[in-house]
Amino acid sequence: MDVLHLNFRVLQYCGIWYEYPENLWLVKMVYKTLIVVMLFCFTLSELTELVLNRNNVHDLTECLFLSLTFLTCCFKMINFLCRQEGLNRILNAYRADVFQPKTTEEKQMTTQYQNLISKFFMVYLIMALLSGICLSLIPIISSASNETQFPAKSYQPYNTQDSTLYLITYFHQILSIFFGIFINVSMDMLVCGFIILACCQLDLCCYRISLNKKDTSTNDHVVHHVLIGHAVNRVQSFFIVIIVLLFIFNLIVLCTSLFQIPQKNIMTLEFFTLFVYLVGILFQVYVYCWFGNQLQLKSKTISDAIYESNWPDLTPCKRKDYIFSMFMSQNGFTISFHGQCSLSIKTYVWIVKTSYAVYNLLQNTST
C-alpha cells in the first residue's frame, strides 16, 4: 500500500482490509467474519450490561466509557466495510500524478509529512496499548477471592464461576480489547492521515507556485489545487458521519472518565488505567481538531503564494488562472457536517468545556 501504508498494514492484520482480496479469498473472508463477530458480540455484551445498570449512576458511568468506545469502533467497521468503493476513490485521488513529488525538495517535503503521520500513529497506539494492558491486568492483580472479575464490565448469560467458562470469557475480552485498539487507532489515524496528506499537497502546490517560471503553465497549479479540494471533499463524505458520532460519544466518555477518576485510589492500577484512557481520548479529539484546523489555515496560504510569485510578469490568461485559484482559497477547505461540528480548535475547546459541565452535573446528581 503506497498511501498510509502503516494504517492499512495494521488493518490487514486485523482482517478488515485487503489490497488484493481475490487471493485466498475464502480464508480472508472467514478471518474477517470471525473478527467482526467477536467485536460485535463483545460490544453487545457491554451494552446489555449498560442497560441492566441504568439505575445506578456509578455502575452506569463505569460501563459507559468502554462500551461507547467499542460501539464507535463497530460503526467505524460498518462504514469501512460497506463503503469500500468510496475508500478506493479517496486512495485513487491521492495517487494522481500531480500529487507525486517531482524533485528532491518535494520528496523531502513529502517524507517529512509521512514521518509525522507515523509518529502520531505510534504515540496514539502506545497510549491505547498501555491502557489495554492495564485493563487486562486489573482482574489478575485486584481480583477478590469470592468473585470473578473481567477486564470490562459485560453481561454473560452463563455462570462465570466455572473456571472453563471464565477463561473463555476472559480470553474473548482480551482479544476483543486488543483487536479493538488496533482497529480504532488505525481508523482514527486514517482520517488524520488523509488530512495531513492534504496539508502536504497544499504545501507542494504553494512551493510549485513560488517556483513558477514565465514560460510554465499555471493551469497545472490550478488543477493541482482543484484536485486537492476534490480529495478533501471525498474524505469528508466518507468519514464525516463517523467523526460526528465519535465526537458525541467521546464527549460522554470524557464525562464518565472524569466522574470515575476521583473515585479511584491514586495508587491503584484502576486509576492509572482511567488516567491513560482519558489522556488517549483527549489526544484523539485534539489530533482530529488540530489537523482539521491546519487544513483550513494551509488552504488559505495558496493566495499568499500566488501574491508572492511573479504574477505581474505573466500573461493575462495565466493571471486569470491564478485569480480563480485565489478565489477558491478564500474560504479554505473545512471538514464539517453541513457547517456544524467542524474539525477546528474551537470545536475541541467546546467539547472539553461541555464535558466538564456535564461532569459537574453528574457530581451534583450523585450526591
In sequence order, what DSSP letters do the residues of 336-365 get, joined into one string? -BTTBS-SSHHHHHHHHHHHHHHHHHHHHH
Selected residue with higher pLDDT from 289 and 366: 289
The pLDDT of residue 144 is 52
pLDDT tens track for 254-293: 877 777 777 777 777 778 888 888 888 888 889 899 999 9
SS3 348: helix
How many angstroms separate the CA atoms of 314 and 311, rounded? Answer: 5
The pLDDT of residue 198 is 93
Report how many domains make up the chain.
Answer: 1
> Are 153 and 173 in contact, with CB atoms under 8 Å apart?
no
> Are 252 and 97 in contact, with CB atoms under 8 Å apart?
no
How far CA 17 is from CA of 10, 64, 193, 320, in Å, comes to 9, 29, 16, 44
User: Radius of gyration of the chain from Cα atoms?
Assistant: 24
pLDDT tens track for 107-163: 999 999 999 999 999 998 998 898 888 888 877 776 554 567 788 888 888 887 888
Look up cell 481538531; give the residue: 289
Residue 21 has pLDDT above 80, yes or no: no
SS3 340: strand
Cβ-based neighbour number of residue 99 at 10 Å: 20
How many angstroms separate the CA atoms of 81 and 15, rounded? Answer: 11
How many angstroms separate the CA atoms of 308 and 30, rounded? Answer: 57
Nine cell digits for residue 189: 489515524
The pLDDT of residue 207 is 87
How many angstroms separate the CA atoms of 86 and 194, rounded? Answer: 14
Look up cell 486485523; give the residue: 14
How many angstroms separate the CA atoms of 187 and 14, rounded? Answer: 12
Confidence of residue 362 (pLDDT cuts 50, 70, 90): low
Using a 10 angstrom Cβ sphere, with 0-12 exposed, 13-18 middle and 19 or more buried, the burial of residue 200 is buried
The pLDDT of residue 327 is 76
Alpha helices in 95-218 (DSSP H): 104-142, 163-210
Stretch among 14-23, 70-79, 156-165, 294-303 having the lowest mean pLDDT: 14-23
How far CA 146 is from CA of 142, 288, 331, in Å, comes to 12, 44, 63
- The strand pairing partners of 125, in sequence order, are none
How many angstroms separate the CA atoms of 50 and 47, rounded? Answer: 5
Upper half-sphere CA count for residue 1 (Cβ side, 13 Å): 16
Residue 174 has pLDDT above 60, yes or no: yes
- The strand pairing partners of 274, in sequence order, are none
pLDDT tens track for 32-52: 999 999 999 999 988 888 888
Packing angle, helices 163-210 and 25-52, rounded to 10? 110
Q: Which of 240, 202, 201, 245 is nearest to 343 (CA)?
A: 240
How many angstroms separate the CA atoms of 50 and 65, rounded? Answer: 10
Q: What is the pLDDT of the chain when averaged over all its residues?
A: 83
Domain range for 108: 5-366
Confidence of residue 59 (pLDDT cuts 50, 70, 90): low
How many angstroms separate the CA atoms of 108 and 248, rounded? Answer: 38
Average the pLDDT over 177-185 and give the result: 92
Name the residue type at position 159: N
SS3 337: strand
> Are 76 and 183 in contact, with CB atoms under 8 Å apart?
yes
> Are 177 and 132 in contact, with CB atoms under 8 Å apart?
yes
pLDDT tens track for 185-238: 999 899 999 999 999 999 998 888 888 655 456 777 888 888 998 999 999 999
Instruction: For Cα atoms 295, 300, 301, give the angle at the middle one, nearest 5 degrees.
Output: 100
Which long-range contacts link 116-119 to residues 24+ away (Cβ below 8 Å)? 116/196, 117/4, 117/6, 117/189, 117/192, 117/193, 117/196, 117/197, 118/6
